[in-house]
Chains A and B, each alone.
Chain A
Amino acid sequence: MGDFHNPEADLDRFRFRSGFAAIAVLLAFSLLLGRFVWLQVIQHDFYQTRAEDNRIALIPIVPNRGVITDRNGTVLARNYSAFTLEITPSRVPDLEVAIDELAAIIDIQPKDRKRFKRLMDEAKNFESIPIRTRLTDAEVAKFAAQRYRFPGIEVKARLFRQYPLGTVASHAIGYIGRITDRDLKWIEEAEQQAMFKGTDHIGKTGLEQHYEFELHGQTGYEEVEIDAGGHALRSLKRIPPVSGNNLALTLDAKLQEITEQAFGDRKGSLVAIEPSTGGILALVSNPTYDPNLFVDGITPDNWKELNEHPSKPMVNRAINGAYPPGSTFKPFMALAALEMGKRTPSQAISDPGFYNFGNHQFRDDKKGGHGIVDMYKSIVHSCDTYYYMLANDMGIDNIAKFMGQLGLGQRTGVDLGKDEYGESKGVLPSQEWKRQRFKKPEQQKWYAGETISIGIGQGYNAYTPIQLAQATATIANNGVMFRPHIVHHIIDTKTGQKRLIERQPIRDLNLRPENVEVIRRAMVGVNKEGTGARAFAGAPYEAAGKTGTAQVFSLKGAQYKEGGVKKELRDHALFIAFAPANNPKIALAVLVENGGFGAQSAAPIARMVIDYYLLGKLPAGAAPEDSAAVEEEVE
């Protein structure tokens, strides 16, 4: 780095450094050579023996997957054995030719070829890949006779997953599918690689995914001596696999089926919970899909159909759909007011049919108002004005604090999907929430006017059906809250022991019994003389309930007219209920997307479900839409 430049010196330096590099290269290669001498001469005998030992291969034996049954022992997921025709691509010189020849003796459809191609792209070269599944006995015999013509192709007995009830409870059970790179990562993170040796299917959603490591079982091994061509000569040792554990659910398959039928072709969700345990009795998301489609690898056409259908059958609305609760929010608001001392049951207001705040008028559904309204009447007749005022008196953060205690706007931790993040949180609005949700400072500020519509379950409020069901069950259970769960117990196949899923309460809200009683009476009133009375007419039990209607879009002051609005823009109908009111055995939340008013399409479904669960009464078909209820509600 002198101040003047000397090309000769530069060249000399370069040549010196080249020489240095050459010596370094020689040294490095000598190091390698030393390593080779060490391995190939000095340690040769040792590695020679190891290579001989390598002729013993460990072949994994895949265990039977656990069976899933409902609370009465009805099988929801099981396995059956069937023959598949499988190709090991690395041992077949020309795949196209081989498959063409195969097609001459066994029926191979274009869809089979397509699936084979897809699986081959995903798989390792030395794995065997099914070209046909579920061979008939005749086909097995035909192939066996010609086997010698097809090296690298063989018939294998494999277990297939089957969901006997088809579409029933598909969102709860989930399904299994081929292991993908994403699943592999999950397996690696859980350090379960050894368990999945030889396994090619894994739970993709629902219980199948959540309880994957229970259902899978322990993989067994067979030590096999193989010849130089890689063919198995004889079995040396066999460690049998241990079947996966069975799941017994709290779910009632019949109730589930009836509920799904009650929905008919309406979109929506219902979650029914046993309030004293948190056990889920029914978890419906309509429309559903047939999980059996996924078992052999779903065809691209079916996948497209399911994924791109406008009614989104693959979405589990019960845990992933967040909806404004509408007026079903009112009993929770009333309870919060009592607990916080903001209202007494008898304190009444005079409702003119609207509530003025600043220069904005918040309107009640009923023109001219409900007259004198106390807490009981506010719930029974669903008076908006009462809750506009109440919300303003309580303030957003008090509301958020109480509703948060009830589990609204939080993941319930239900045992569906891989982890809790399969579930949506919904939105529990508060000042803090708004600060975090929005970026611009002017959007981050909470305006007092925004609190008003929160009071009637509109505004930013958005909860999942399972959250509403859990909150309803918590009130039914006098403030003792449980985590909703679908599995009742796990049966260990090795020991036969039953492991109960924890049913310790997660929280006691310490509600005052007299306050809960006020709400309970008012909710019973809803079904006797209020908005739910038509749906529950003649019920031989006392049911507590509350209707709700959630606006899908704002009408901007225009009068809501049923026929004038497109179906997709109709309001969502909601209903929450528990029964019998004095000793609740079932609590539920129903949501019907674009169902109009709660009393119109949600309450009749709830009636059917409770009728069956308490009385064993079987319905005739889908729940009717009660259009008379509409007139009554807008009166």
Chain B
Amino acid sequence: MIDVVGTLRRGWQQLIAHIDFPLFCITLAIMAIGLATVHSATFDGNQRVLSQAGNMGVAMIIMWFVSRLPPQKLMSFAIPLYVLGLVLLVAVFLFGIKINGARRWLSLGFTRIQPSEIMKIAMPLMLAWYFQKYEATLRFKHYVVAALLLIVPFALIAKQPDLGTALLVGAAGFYVIFFAGLPWKIIIGMIVVGASAAPFIWGMLHDYQQKRILTLIDPTTDPLGSGYHIIQATIAIGSGGAIGKGYLNGTQTHLEFIPEKHTDFIFAVFSEEWGLMGNLVLLFLYTMLIGRGLMIASAAPTLFSRLLAGAITLGFFTYAFINMGMVSGILPVVGVPLPFMSYGGTALVTLFLGIGMLMSIHTHRMLVKK
């Protein structure tokens, strides 16, 4: 007799073999909060909620596939993906489409793509591969090469200009170099040099970027212009108080005072309705996510997978920190979505590629040991 139950069970186990449950549950929890908040932010009809749920489905299928690929396989993607990203970035630089003064997109005729998105994944992959390759013979010059691999795409993205994405890509690359053992002397040196170079960097920024930073220091100087976003978002958060105004009751949100409320500023919507209490829950979930990621990194058997896992994890942190920081008015507005919360398919796919890689690294470690 055929053991139906047994077959089903084995099939199910096969299916979930490479899913890491702590990671999966944490992301599901954040996404559930995100969906509810998108519903509140868009309120009229459920078009966006449904479309976001669809995005999540697609992103999780991608995660499932990626988690099944052994890290060895991931490594083989490093160079092709990086080179592709770089070529596309150069193509954007030469003949990208300009929208609102920024040249970020490439037109493929039927659609347009934003190649900087590829770099968010390609950068840590490439650098982790590089350090793995020279693991045994690591010298100072390798850090220099790694820095170059980082700076070229970073500069191309910053030049578009897209400061938000450039920061994320730059951070992802830096984390790899940091975990690979960049000497503390150099890190401290960089901080000192960076601080003293700040005036020059200031001069290189675009007018609108300077304005954003200035209005951050004093948003009231331009209440109807670029300070508007910061002021309205801060009012939303502040008026939320300790326990919030209640779900679907945020006045700032529903009277249309918050701009881009279902995308970059979704945190303001959440915080207005759920207050400090909600923020604590959200911060706790992100902390858990990062903690689990660092655990996976520390348990990873090879240098490549350690570096990749560490960089991806700190990448999530960077997303979350920059977004919540800018919405609550302690960082300049740079257009970074809140991970797993903001509406938008592209960001979700990128994030779940990362989650899938973390799962792959974690669930394949036994096989390597054997």
Contacts and interface: CB of A to CB of B under 8 A. Distances in A.
Contacts of B365: none
Given A50-B238, A55-B255, A228-B254, A29 B279 contact: no
Nearest to B137: A5
Task: Decide if the interface of chain B is mainly helix, strand, loop or mixed.
Answer: helix
Interface in A236-285: none
A620 interface: no
Contacts of A22: 290-291, 294
Contact of A40 (B140, B175, B238): B238
B310 interface: yes
A340 interface: no
B306 interface: yes
B235 A50 contact: yes
Interface string A26-56: 1011011101110111011011101100110
Interface string B237-276: 1111110000000011011110000000000000100011
A126 interface: yes
Given A35-B330, A36-B328, A51-B235, A230 B256 contact: yes
Nearest to B180: A14
Contacts of A25: 287, 290, 314, 317
A181 interface: yes
B51 to A, nearest CB: 14
B44 A91 contact: yes
Contacts, number: 140
Interface string A44-78: 10111011001101000000000000000000000
Contacts of A54: 232, 235, 251-252, 255, 257
Nearest to A21: B314
A110 B158 CA distance: 44
A36 B255 contact: no
B324 to A, nearest CB: 5
A163 B321 CA distance: 55
Contacts of B138: 1, 5
Contact of B239 (A26, A36, A41, A44): A44
B321 A28 contact: yes
Given A10-B181, A29-B321, A50-B238, A37 B294 contact: no
A194 B225 CA distance: 9
B179 interface: yes
B93 interface: no
Interface string B159-183: 0000000000000000100110101
A10 B180 CA distance: 8
A312 to B, nearest CB: 26
A48 B239 contact: yes
B236 A32 contact: no
Size range of the interface on B? 35 or more
Interface string A78-112: 00000000000011111000000000000000000
Contacts of A185: 101
A13 B136 CA distance: 15
A15 B299 CA distance: 9
Contact of B255 (A13, A44, A197, A228): A228
A40 B241 contact: yes
Contact of B45 (A1, A47, A93): A93
Nearest to B321: A28
B135 to A, nearest CB: 7
B242 A40 contact: yes
Interface string B210-239: 000000000000001100000010111111
B369 interface: no
B246 to A, nearest CB: 12
Contacts of A29: 283, 286-287, 321
A50 to B, nearest CB: 5
B8 interface: no
Interface in A218-241: 226, 228-230
B79 to A, nearest CB: 23
Nearest to A46: B238
Given A29-B283, A54-B257, A21 B294 contact: yes
- Of listed A29, A194, A226, residue having the most chain B CB within 10 A: A29
15 contacts: A13-B181, A18-B298, A21-B179, A22-B294, A32-B330, A36-B279, A36-B328, A40-B240, A40-B241, A40-B279, A41-B276, A51-B236, A51-B251, A54-B255, A229-B254
Interface of A: 1, 5, 10-11, 13-15, 17-18, 21-22, 25-26, 28-29, 31-33, 35-37, 39-41, 43-44, 46-48, 50-51, 54-55, 57, 90-94, 126, 181, 185, 193-194, 197, 226, 228-230
Closest 3 CB pairs of A and B: A47-B238, A51-B239, A39-B238
Given A25-B287, A32-B283, A55-B251, 14 more contacts: A11-B306, A22-B290, A32-B324, A33-B283, A39-B237, A40-B279, A41-B241, A41-B276, A44-B242, A50-B238, A51-B238, A193-B225, A197-B224, A230-B255
